[in-house]
Amino acid sequence: MNNGRKNTPNKLMPLQKGIFTRDISFSNLIASSVYITLAVSVAVFIIWPTIAILMESVYYDGQFTLTQYISLFTENQQLLLNSIWVSTLSTFLAVVLGLIVALFISHSANRGKKTVFAVLLLTLISPPFVSALSYIMLFGRRGIITYNLLGLNINPYGWHGVVLLQSIGHASIAALIILGVLRGIDKSLEQASLDLGANSLQTLLKITIPLAKPGIVAAALICFVQSLADFGTPVIIGGNFTVLATEAYLNVIGLYNLPRAAAMGTLLLIPALIMFIIYRNVVKNSQYFSVRQSNESTLVLSKWLNIILGVITWSFVAFQLIQYITILWGAFARTWGVDFSLSLKHINALGSSQIASFVRSLEYSFLAALIGSLIGLILAYMIERKKFPGYQILDFMVTLPYMIPGPFLGIAYVLAFHDYPLLLTGTAFIVVVNCIYRQLPIGTKAATTVLTQLNPEIEYGARDLGASEIHAFKDVVLPALKPAFLISFINTFTTTMITIGAIIFLMVPGSEVATVQMFNAIKTGDIGLSAVIANMIIIATLGINLAFSYFILRPARHKDTMEKEMAYVPAIEGIK
C-alpha cells in the first residue's frame, strides 16, 4: 500500500507534465498563428494603403516626380492655408466651448447636468450633415429665422459658416473627453488651493485646468483631425470657399485625377501628424500629476462663474436641440420655407434605393462593429499580454488610423485595392474592412486599458488549477473585457452608420449607404428627403446602441459586478 502511494505520483507526474507541455505548445502555436494573421491583416489594410497613396502622389508613368506637390504649393497654396485656418480656428473654439460645458457638468452648482450630458451623447450619433442641413433650414435664403421671421435675404455661405458648424459640432466630443479627465483629478488639490486663500476663479485657472491639460490636448487633436477631414460641411456651406478635403473629393469623384487627389490627401496627413506629435510631447512633458481620484468636487464657484458657465452651456444645448427639432419638423413639413404644414409626402417619397441604402448601412455597421470589436480585443491581448516579437511596431500600426483623416484613407483604399491581386474596390467587403480598421484604435485601446487593470495572476491561477490557456482566456479574460467590447461595438457601429469621409470614395452606383443618400439629397436641394433620412439614421443608431448595451450589461445583476463593469464605461449616473 505504502509503495503504491509512493509510486503513483512518480508514474503520474511525467504524464501530467507531458500533457501540460503539449497544451502550452499547442496554445502557443494557435496564439502565434492568430498574431501573425492579425499582423498581416493590419499591414494589408493599414500600411499598404498608406504606402499606395504616397507612391501615387510622387510617381507618374513610372518616374519619380514632385509635380503634384509643386503645383499645390505654387498654384493652389490657398487650399492648404484655408484648411489649416479653418481647422485651427474651429478647433480652438470647439475646445473652449467643450471646456466650458465640461466645467459646467463637473464643477458648477447649476441644475440640469444630466440633460446637458444626454444632449452631448445625442450629438455623437448624428449624421455629419445634420448641422449643415439645419443651418440651411434655419439661416439659409429661405431659412425660417432669417427669411420667415426676420425678413432678411442674406448669404449664409462662406468660411464663417464652416467654422461655426465645425466648432459647435466638435464641441460635444471635446466636452466628453475633457469631462473624463476632470472627473478623475484629485479634488483635494482644489481644496488645498482654497485653503491657501485662492478664490474659485484662481483655483480653476491654476489648478483645475492645468490638471485637465491631457484631456484638453487630446480633444484638440481629435477636433483638428476631424476638421481637416471634413469635406461635407465646406461642400454644402462653404460656397466659393474651398479646402483640401473638398478638392480631393472632387478630383476623385469628378475628375478622376488620382495623382492629384493622392497629393492632396497626403497634405491632409502632414498637419494631422504634426498635431499628434505636439499632443504626445505636451502629455509626456506635463508636470501636473494627480494621485487620488474623487467624483465629488469641493470647489464652490462664485455666483458670476456659475452664471457665465450656465448661460454658455444652455445656449449650446438650446442650439443643438433647435437643430434636432428643425430636422424632425423638416421631415414632415410640406415645403420648407414656403409651406410648413404637416405632411407625409417626404416619407412616402422614400424610394427603394433609399430604403435599400438604409438597410445596407445597418448591415455594414453591425458587421464592422462585431468583427472590429473582436479583432480589437484579440489584438490588445496579443500586444499587452503575449508581447510577441514586433508587438510595439504592431501597436503603432494599429494606432495609425487614429491620426489619419478620412479622405486620406478613402483615397488610399481606392489606390491600393483597384487592381489584381487585391481587386476589392466597389465591393461591400472593402467598405466594411475600411470601417473596421479605421476604428480599430478605439477598440484596441479600450481593451488595453482593461487588461492593464486585470491582474495577470488571475490567469496564472486558472492555469495552475488545470485550465488550458485557451480556457483561461475564454473564462477569465473575455468576461473582464466585456465593457471594452461594448465601448468598441458602440463606437464602431455609430461611426459606420454616420460616416462618409472615407467610404464615399469606395461607393459605386447602387451600393450607396444612407449617409451618401442624405448627402446627395442635400446637394440637390431636397431638404425634406434628407431630413427623413437623417431622422432614420439617428433613431436607428440610438435604438440599437441602447438595446445592445442592455443586452451586454444585463447579466451583471449583482451590485459589485455592475460597479466593476461600469467603472470602464462612461455613465450618466455619475452626473449629479
What is the dihedral sign for C-alpha 276, 281, 283, 284? positive
Hey, do 31-49+352-576 and 66-318 end up sharing a CATH topology, with the first three levels equal? yes
Please tell me the distance from the alpha carbon of residue 438 to that of residue 45, in angstroms, as a whole number: 9
- Given a contact cutoff of 8 angstroms between Cβ atoms, the answer to whether 248 and 411 are in contact is yes
Q: Residue 5, Cβ neighbours under 10 Å: how many?
A: 8
Q: Which of 203, 192, 185 is nearest to 286 (CA)?
A: 185
Give the N- to C-terminal CA distance of the chain in Å, as an integer.
70
Please tell me the distance from the alpha carbon of residue 223 to that of residue 95, in angstroms, as a whole number: 8
Q: Which amino acid is at 228?
A: L
Q: In the prediction, which pLDDT does 562 show?
A: 43
Cβ neighbourhood burial of 224 (10 Å; 0-12, 13-18, 19+): buried
Quickly name the fold that domain 66-318 has.
MetI-like fold (1.10.3720)
**Angle at Cα 488 formed by Cα 487 and Cα 494, nearest 5°?**
90
Please tell me the distance from the alpha carbon of residue 13 to that of residue 11, in angstroms, as a whole number: 6
C-alpha count within 13 angstroms, C-beta hemisphere, residue 504: 28
Three-state SS sequence of 282-335: HHHCCCCCCCCCCCCCCCCCCHHHHHHHHHHHHHHHHHHHHHHHHHHHHHHEEE
Output the DSSP codes for 123-171.
Answer: HTTS-TTHHHHHHHHHHSTT-IIIIIIT-------SHHHHHHHHHHHHH
Q: In the prediction, which pLDDT does 19 show?
A: 41
Cβ neighbourhood burial of 61 (10 Å; 0-12, 13-18, 19+): exposed
pLDDT in tens, 473-490: 777 788 888 888 888 898
Q: Which residues contact 152 (CB under 8 A, 6 or more apart)?
A: 146
- Given a contact cutoff of 8 angstroms between Cβ atoms, the answer to whether 324 and 535 are in contact is no
Q: Which of 469, 451, 452 is nearest to 460 (CA)?
A: 469
Element spanning 77, H or E: helix 77-107
- Given a contact cutoff of 8 angstroms between Cβ atoms, the answer to whether 336 and 528 are in contact is yes
Please tell me the distance from the alpha carbon of residue 130 to that of residue 128, in angstroms, as a whole number: 6
**Angle at Cα 392 formed by Cα 391 and Cα 396, nearest 5°?**
115
Please tell me the distance from the alpha carbon of residue 354 to that of residue 569, in angstroms, as a whole number: 34
Where along the chain do its domains lie? 31-49+352-576, 66-318
CATH architecture of residue range(s) 31-49+352-576: Orthogonal Bundle (1.10)
Element spanning 250, H or E: helix 244-253
Please tell me the distance from the alpha carbon of residue 349 to that of residue 372, in angstroms, as a whole number: 35
Please tell me the distance from the alpha carbon of residue 396 to that of residue 383, in angstroms, as a whole number: 11
- Given a contact cutoff of 8 angstroms between Cβ atoms, the answer to whether 562 and 554 are in contact is no
- Given a contact cutoff of 8 angstroms between Cβ atoms, the answer to whether 504 and 410 are in contact is yes
Please tell me the distance from the alpha carbon of residue 28 to that of residue 260, in angstroms, as a whole number: 47
Coil, strand or helix at 60: strand
Cell (9 digits) for 97: 466651448
Cis previous bond, 421, omega within 30: yes
Element spanning 340, H or E: strand 339-342
Please tell me the distance from the alpha carbon of residue 223 to that of residue 529, in angstroms, as a whole number: 29
Q: Which residues contact 277 (CB under 8 A, 6 or more apart)?
A: none
Q: In the prediction, which pLDDT does 554 show?
A: 65
Please tell me the distance from the alpha carbon of residue 60 to that of residue 47, in angstroms, as a whole number: 21
Q: In the prediction, which pLDDT does 429 show?
A: 93
The phi, psi pair for 445, rounded to 5°, reads -70, -35
Please tell me the distance from the alpha carbon of residue 507 to that of residue 430, in angstroms, as a whole number: 10
- Given a contact cutoff of 8 angstroms between Cβ atoms, the answer to whether 549 and 155 are in contact is no
Q: In the prediction, which pLDDT does 17 show?
A: 44
Distances (CA, A) of 414 to 66, 410, 499: 21, 6, 17
Q: Which residues contact 370 (CB under 8 A, 6 or more apart)?
A: 489
Helix axes 303-332, 113-123, angle to 10 degrees: 50
- Strands 63-64 and 59-60 come out as antiparallel
Q: Model-level pTM?
A: 0.81
Q: Which of 333, 361, 314, 322 is nearest to 514 (CA)?
A: 361
Looking at residue 337, the DSSP 8-state letter turns out to be T
**Angle at Cα 16 formed by Cα 11 and Cα 22, nearest 5°?**
135
Q: Residue 287, Cβ neighbours under 10 Å: how many?
A: 6
Coil, strand or helix at 481: coil
Cell (9 digits) for 532: 427623413
Regions of the chain with pLDDT less than 70: 1-26, 285-298, 553-576
C-alpha count within 13 angstroms, C-beta hemisphere, residue 568: 25
